[in-house]
């Protein structure tokens, strides 16, 4: 199988690359420039295509069997403006997917986000994949718009599209400002770690398992199936952020203190993001 991969130097993309290459697949991976380095060390190099998403032509990607789209514009705080998020997460992606269709690709897997559900998530014990989309920031709004637009696009052209909505992923290669790397840095250097009360309920999933889910779907897709399918992927285990932090704090045998309640919750914080999981991948 030959995979066209966006976001190959990113957090999830780097892990996906290692797993796909280890499984013997060919990968044509997009990166913005030759100097872009993957977040983790690769076991081998894929075939790199150095270009922005809006610079790709059908000719450059001909011969690929499936497009796995992991790239995202400002998926972490601070989010860009809604205009820029819509341009890079929606309009440019539609242009790329159209070039892929013209190149003969009929199978597409897209990284969605639990943040597309937004505040509707708080109304469910477990969020179903067809829950209303009520995003609460520019990034999430652009991802929700992309889910809707790509679903219509796949129906229009009788293509196979899967949108896998990722819940809370963590692990090696994660942006240093995010929770798990920040927690580890404080634990390993003996510092205290200020945090909120940590009552938010989440489904935390290791990045290796997220990559495994995407590779599994890429290997399983059938050209005979057409239309859009949306799935939630997660570990199937819910826990509070406080419990997550306490587990890792003890795992690293931290000498500092978890300063629970030292920070306020973010404005409009969604307190519950627990999926009804369509795909369970847990180490």
Question: Which tens digits make up the pLDDT trace of 217-234?
Answer: 999 876 667 789 999 999
Q: For the chain, what is the domain count?
A: 2
Residues 151 and 268 occupy one common structural domain: no
Domain that holds residue 192: 179-200+237-273
Residues 45 and 111 occupy one common structural domain: yes
Residues 108 and 242 occupy one common structural domain: no
Residues 22 and 151 occupy one common structural domain: yes
Alpha helices in the chain (DSSP H): 11-22, 82-86, 92-102, 138-157, 179-189, 207-220, 241-251
Residues 9 and 135 occupy one common structural domain: yes
CA triple 148-152-153, angle to 5 deg: 115
Do residues 9 and 36 lie in contact, with contact meaning Cβ atoms separated by under 8 Å? yes
pLDDT, tens digit, for every residue of 63-102? 999 999 999 999 888 899 999 999 999 999 999 999 999 9
The helix (H) or strand (E) run that includes residue 111 is strand 107-113
Residues 54 and 95 occupy one common structural domain: yes
Residue 152's contacts (CB-CB under 8 Å, 6 or more residues apart) are: none
Residues 191 and 242 occupy one common structural domain: yes
Residues 18 and 31 occupy one common structural domain: yes
Residues 116 and 186 occupy one common structural domain: no
Residues 132 and 261 occupy one common structural domain: no
Q: Could you please report the per-residue DSSP string of 78-91?
A: SP--HHHHHIIIII
Those residues of the chain that have pLDDT short of 50 are none
pTM of the model: 0.95
Q: Are strands 201-202 and 239-240 parallel, antiparallel or unpaired?
A: antiparallel
DSSP 26: E
Residues 195 and 209 occupy one common structural domain: no
For residue 281, what pLDDT is reported? Answer: 61
Determine the Cα–Cα distance for residues 108 and 160; give it in Å rounded to an integer: 6
Which of 40, 88, 96 minimizes the C-alpha distance to 64? 96
Determine the Cα–Cα distance for residues 142 and 85; give it in Å rounded to an integer: 6
**SS3 at position 217:** helix
C-alpha distances (whole Å) from 248 to each of 171, 244, 245, 253 are: 12, 7, 5, 8
The CATH number of whichever domain residue 97 belongs to comes to 3.40.50.720
Residues 232 and 245 occupy one common structural domain: no
What torsion do the CA atoms of 46, 52, 55, 56 make, to the nearest 10 degrees? 30
């Amino acid at each position: 199988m030959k995979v066209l991969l966006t976001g190959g130097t990113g957090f999830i993309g780097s892990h996906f690359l290692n797993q796909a290459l280890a499984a013997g697949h060919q990968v044509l991976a997009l990166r913005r420039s030759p100097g872009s380095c993957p977040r983790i060390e690769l076991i081998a190099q894929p075939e790199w295509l150095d270009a922005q998403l809006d610079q790709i032509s059908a000719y450059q990607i001909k011969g690929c069997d499936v497009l796995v789209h992991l790239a995202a514009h400002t998926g972490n705080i601070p989010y860009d403006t809604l205009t820029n998020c819509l341009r890079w997460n929606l309009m440019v992606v539609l242009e790329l997917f159209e070039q892929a269709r013209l190149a003969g690709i009929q199978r597409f897997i897209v990284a969605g986000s639990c943040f597309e559900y937004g505040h509707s998530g708080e109304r469910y014990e477990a969020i179903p994949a067809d829950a209303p989309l009520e995003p609460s920031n520019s990034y999430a709004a652009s991802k929700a718009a992309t889910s809707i637009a790509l679903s219509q696009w796949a129906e229009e052209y009788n293509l196979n599209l899967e949108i896998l909505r990722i819940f809370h992923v963590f692990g090696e290669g994660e942006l240093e400002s995010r929770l798990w790397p920040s927690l580890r840095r404080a634990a390993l250097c003996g510092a205290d770690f200020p945090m909120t009360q940590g009552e938010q309920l989440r489904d935390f999933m290791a990045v290796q398992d997220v990559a495994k889910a995407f590779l599994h779907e890429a290997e399983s897709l059938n050209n005979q199936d057409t239309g859009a399918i949306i799935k939630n992927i997660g570990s199937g285990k819910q826990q509070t952020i406080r419990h997550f932090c306490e587990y890792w704090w003890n795992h690293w045998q931290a000498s500092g203190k978890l300063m629970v309640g030292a920070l306020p919750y973010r404005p409009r914080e969604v307190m519950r993001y627990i999926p009804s999981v369509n795909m369970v991948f847990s180490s």
